[in-house]
Amino acid sequence: MTRNDWTRDEIAALFDLPFGELVFRAQTVHRAHHAPDQVQMSTLLSIKTGGCPEDCGYCNQSVHAETGLKATKLMDVRAVLQAAAQAKDNGSSRFCMGAAWRNPKDRDMPAIVEMVQGVRQMGMETCMTLGMLTERQAAMLADAGLDYYNHNIDTSPERYGEVITTRSFEERLDTLEHVREAGINVCCGGIVGMGETRGDRVGFIHALATLPRHPESVPVNALVPVKGTVLGDMLADTPLAKIDDIEFVRTVAVARITMPASMVRLSAGRESMSDITQALCFMAGANSIFTGDKLLTTGNAGDDKDAALFARLGLMAMPVQVKAELEAAE
């Protein structure tokens, strides 16, 4: 049963369960809602890198970070579509496009719309992450056929202000509301391993699981500390720089139990996880990954390594599931 009335105490109690019991419960919920041997394969492309005015402490694309990353202009539509075609050839069913913006400018929207339409014509699901959206921009993306919009809450409401000061938690929720009202699926998760407490992880899951409608996709990122970012410098060479593997699996399991119908995605940080840790995450209900050698600007496990792991675990790539109502409109 899908619930939107989870309490923090209930979520904390899930985190406190014996590990085997927690994973068993998560796997039981997972099997009731998803094919247990299928994992969604997604590819993420940075279509506009660097120069973002936000001060997110984890991000090397912020102008406040001193990482040497060079800002780029928005990619040419043809180049984006070529990357999408290659991703499809490599087995991806969803193509995600990210731009380092606080919010897109109206002058950028025609090219963005063309990218969405072009990727969708290939038979792939489309996802965009462009920062904050106005109602009009969300409507334009919906008209173009966008399947998902990613806008993470990043962490618990209480911890949020320690990570980002240029955008409020409530502003993130406003964008999610615009996306929902436009009829676009929501992709919303966050980052663990930023020096937060388990209480913050409880608050993070609680904020997602008590939304009026759960995100259809919930990415769970493990912080990749990048030198020159606030958190990368703060957590470098300390035990806090990497979340404990068992605690990460617990976070995935609690996300699966509280949001049973959502896709739970292993996102950033997976390249440093052992095969055993990833296998435990799949047992705990994760059923989506980013594949390829690179995420936006950081490394990723790679197609060959993923294929080998899937073969060992008996997993297969999930077929594409483009939204039926948008298909009917085309």
Task: Identify whether the C-beta of residue 251 lies closer than 8 Å to the C-beta of residue 201.
Answer: yes
281 is catalytic: no
Catalytic residue chosen out of the listed positions 56, 120, 201, 250: 56
Q: Residue for token digits 């973002």? A: 52
* Active-site residue, selected from the candidate residues 52, 94, 167, 270: 52
Choose, from 94, 120, 127, 167, the residue flagged as catalytic: 127
What is each CA distance from 202 to 31, 138, 313, in whole angstroms? 24, 30, 30
* 3-state SS, residue 39: strand
Backbone φ/ψ region at 146: left (φ over 0), alpha (ψ -120 to 50), beta: beta
- Choose, from 25, 94, 172, 187, the residue flagged as catalytic: 187
Residue-wise burial string across 57-92, b where 16 or more C-beta atoms lie within 10 A, e elsewhere? bbbbbbebbebebeeeebbebeebbebbeebbebeb
Catalytic residue among 120, 256, 265, 270: 265
Mark whether 188 is an active-site residue. no
Task: Give the whole-angstrom CA distance, residue 317 versus residue 114.
Answer: 27
Apex CA 66: angle with CA 171 and CA 201, to 5°?
45
Verify whether residue 59 is a known catalytic residue: yes
Rounded CA-CA distance 285/289 in Å is 12
96 as an active site residue: the answer is yes
Alpha carbon 128 to its chain centroid, in Å, reads 11
**Catalytic residue annotation:** 52, 56, 59, 96, 127, 187, 265
